[in-house]
């Protein structure tokens, strides 16, 4: 769900046989296997659709390094933010049933919804929930469900935005968010009279015969075909647990496989039509979903001669050498995916992976190599470029992190007067954070998000470094105390240590004030 997540822009080394020709299934096999090996990924699955037909559909590697169960075309992966397109289709169905209009104000259906000022609250419409133009900062509020295990409810979500400071004027700037999609999920439930999960299952998955997909982990009946997430964050590769529960699945809860995602891509490429002339949504709504609603600065990469980029309803939109590209990525701990389509070529590609952080390198490598082959572009040495890009980024982040902990190691921890920091600090949206003693150490714990707890180690002055007990993702943080004239901490700010921290750990949005 982290949509979106630090995305790689680069892709794979092509053999001479790829040049100016469409990639074959055998070449895809070779490509995926090499990319998985180089990026240290446990498992992946790939599907390609062309002219309404599935021309490649296959699993690679293993669902789990503990069971060694092979990935197949029906192995389910968490598709994370690729769920967002399902949420927008659900709203399109409700629009066509006459139960909503796209320009309905959110408070018409969810009267308790509040934004950061009255004007925005009163004018915020359904499409604003989907288009990342709220005025809020990147990932605002994601800390309510990253990491999982927090006790926030949809009631908390509906009122949380009033406590944030906007970073731009309403509807003027793109900043990716997840939490407003949770609001969209609740709106679907209220208007339809059924849960978000049930609506997706009955109105989308069932008619499309996406029989092996599920809107949430709880709805998966065949756990034997479930790919497990993995991480390489601490060297080597290890399996980590799935996110068990979320407020609702509208931002990133879906589990699917390349067999079913091929059906999904063909539905999109067919403008809402499936089966024998049946229609899930209208061509008008298809155009609405694939229309730029929020402008994004395009990647001016000369290879593609791109002129525009934007976000539609659940889709990124851009041009490549005159082709429209419709795409989205997805990212959860240990689960990374990408869907990309070139509608004018009736072409779609999906790549699902189960290892962080290498999965992003694999999906970028595979997707763009395949698209390039159909666009007739020459060898661009994508694999090596992608690997170098990843190594540079990780190296820079690792160097900063290493220096931080070296500074901590050298700091005089005995100089810390613990009593000056002990207490309860409250943020209006995140709740209480407690600074206390544990096993003779200064410790910090979130009351509402129990996985966020760990020792406070002096960095310098009144800034401490926190190594969370939660280590499934890179999320260690600085805790920066503001001190009064008596030397007692009154306020607490936080920010991630590594520049590569996922944006969903929005510690920077916390404004913690001592209450006890």
**What string of DSSP letters covers 392-417?**
HHHHHHHHHHHHHHHHHHHS-GGG--
Residue 235: its pLDDT value, please? 80
57: CB partners within 8 A, 6+ apart:
46, 47, 48, 73, 258, 259, 262
Buried b (16+ CB within 10 A) or exposed e, 232-252: bbeeebbbbebbeebbbbbbb
pLDDT at residue 15 tops 50: no
Per-residue pLDDT reduced to its tens digit, 341-368: 999 999 999 999 999 989 999 999 999 9
Strand partners, 12: 382
Residue 252: its pLDDT value, please? 96
Residue 233: its pLDDT value, please? 82
Phi/psi at 388 (5° precision): -65, -40
Q: In 239-324, which residue ranges form alpha helices assigned H by DSSP?
A: 258-269, 283-289
| Number of residues that this document lists for the chain | 516
Residue 145: its pLDDT value, please? 92
Per-residue pLDDT reduced to its tens digit, 245-303: 789 999 999 999 999 999 999 999 999 999 999 999 999 999 999 999 999 999 888 89
pLDDT at residue 17 tops 50: no
Residue 202: its pLDDT value, please? 98
Mean of pLDDT over the chain? 93
The two structure tokens encoding residue 363: 């999906």
pTM for the predicted model, two decimal places: 0.94
Residue 2: its pLDDT value, please? 45
Per-residue pLDDT reduced to its tens digit, 18-70: 444 799 999 999 999 999 999 999 999 999 999 999 999 999 999 999 999 99
Residue 300: its pLDDT value, please? 86
CA atoms within 13 A on the CB side of 491: 7
Q: What is the DSSP letter of 345?
A: G
Residue 391: its pLDDT value, please? 87
The superfamily CATH assigns to domain 16-100+180-379 is DD-peptidase/beta-lactamase superfamily (3.40.710.10)
The angle subtended at Cα 342 by Cα 339 and Cα 347, nearest 5°, is 80
- 3-state per-residue secondary structure call for 48-83: EEECCEEEEEEEEEECCCCCCCECCCCCEEECHHHH
pLDDT at residue 374 tops 60: yes
- The CATH 2.40.128.50 domain(s) of the chain lie at 410-514
Per-residue pLDDT reduced to its tens digit, 205-244: 999 999 999 999 999 988 999 999 999 987 889 999 998 8
Collapsing DSSP to helix, strand or coil, 334 comes out as coil
**Lowest model confidence (mean pLDDT) among 157-171, 260-274, 275-289, 385-399:** 385-399
| Tokens 């150490």 belong to residue | 441
- The CATH 3.40.710.10 domain(s) of the chain lie at 16-100+180-379
Contact 411, 458 (CB under 8 A): yes
**Lowest model confidence (mean pLDDT) among 106-120, 261-275, 380-394, 474-488:** 380-394
Q: Which fold has domain 410-514?
A: Lipocalin (2.40.128)
Q: Which helix (H) or strand (E) holds 121?
A: helix 118-123
pLDDT at residue 3 tops 80: no
Contact 161, 178 (CB under 8 A): no
Residue 378: pLDDT band with limits 50, 70, 90: confident
Residue 381: pLDDT band with limits 50, 70, 90: confident
């Amino acid at each position: 769900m982290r949509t979106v997540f630090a995305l790689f822009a680069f892709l794979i080394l092509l053999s001479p046989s790829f040049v100016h020709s469409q990639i074959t299934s055998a070449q895809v096999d070779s490509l995926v296997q090499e990319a998985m090996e180089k990026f240290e990924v446990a498992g992946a699955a790939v599907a390609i659709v062309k002219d309404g037909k599935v021309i490649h559909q296959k699993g690679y590697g293993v669902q789990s390094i503990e069971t060694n169960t092979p990935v197949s075309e029906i192995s389910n992966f968490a598709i994370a933010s690729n769920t967002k397109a399902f949420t927008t289709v659900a709203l399109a169905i409700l629009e066509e049933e006459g139960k909503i209009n796209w320009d309905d104000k959110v408070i018409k259906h969810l009267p308790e919804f509040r934004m950061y000022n009255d004007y925005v609250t009163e004018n915020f419409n359904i499409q604003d929930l989907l288009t990342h133009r709220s005025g809020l900062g990147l990932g605002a509020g994601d800390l309510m469900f990253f990491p999982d295990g927090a006790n926030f409810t949809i009631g908390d979500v509906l009122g949380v935005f009033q406590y944030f400071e906007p970073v731009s004027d309403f509807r003027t700037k793109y900043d990716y968010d997840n939490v407003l999609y949770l609001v969209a999920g609740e709106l679907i439930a209220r208007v339809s009279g059924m849960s978000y999960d049930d609506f997706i299952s009955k109105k989308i998955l069932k008619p499309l015969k996406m029989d092996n997909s599920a809107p949430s982990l709880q709805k998966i009946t065949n756990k034997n075909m479930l790919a497990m997430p993995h991480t390489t964050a601490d060297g080597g590769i290890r399996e980590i647990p799935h996110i068990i529960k979320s407020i609702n699945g509208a931002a990133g809860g879906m589990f699917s496989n390349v067999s079913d995602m091929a059906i999904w891509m063909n539905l999109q490429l067919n403008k809402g039509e499936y089966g024998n002339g049946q229609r899930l949504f209208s061509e008008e709504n298809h155009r609405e979903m694939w229309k730029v609603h929020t402008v994004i600065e395009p990647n001016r990469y000369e290879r593609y001669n791109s002129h525009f980029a934007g976000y539609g309803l659940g889709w990124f939109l851009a041009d490549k050498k005159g082709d429209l590209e419709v795409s989205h990525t997805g990212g959860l701990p240990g689960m990374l995916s990408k869907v990309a389509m070139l509608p004018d070529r009736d072409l779609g590609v999906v790549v699902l992976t189960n290892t962080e952080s290498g999965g992003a390198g694999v999906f970028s490598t595979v997707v763009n190599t395949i698209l390039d082959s159909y666009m007739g572009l020459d060898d661009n040495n994508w694999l090596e470029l992608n690997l170098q890009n990843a190594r540079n980024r990780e190296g820079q982040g690792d160097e900063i992190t290493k220096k931080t902990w070296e500074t901590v190691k050298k700091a005089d921890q005995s100089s810390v007067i613990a009593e000056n920091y002990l207490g309860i600090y409250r943020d209006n949206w995140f709740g209480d954070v407690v600074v206390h003693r544990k096993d003779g150490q200064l410790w910090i714990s979130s009351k509402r998000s129990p996985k966020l707890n760990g020792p406070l180690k002096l960095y310098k002055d009144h800034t401490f470094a926190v190594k969370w007990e939660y280590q499934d993702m890179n999320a260690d943080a600085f805790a920066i105390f503001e001190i009064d004239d008596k030397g007692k901490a009154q306020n607490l700010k936080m920010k991630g240590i590594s520049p590569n921290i996922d944006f969903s750990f929005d510690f920077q949005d916390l404004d913690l004030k001592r209450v006890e």
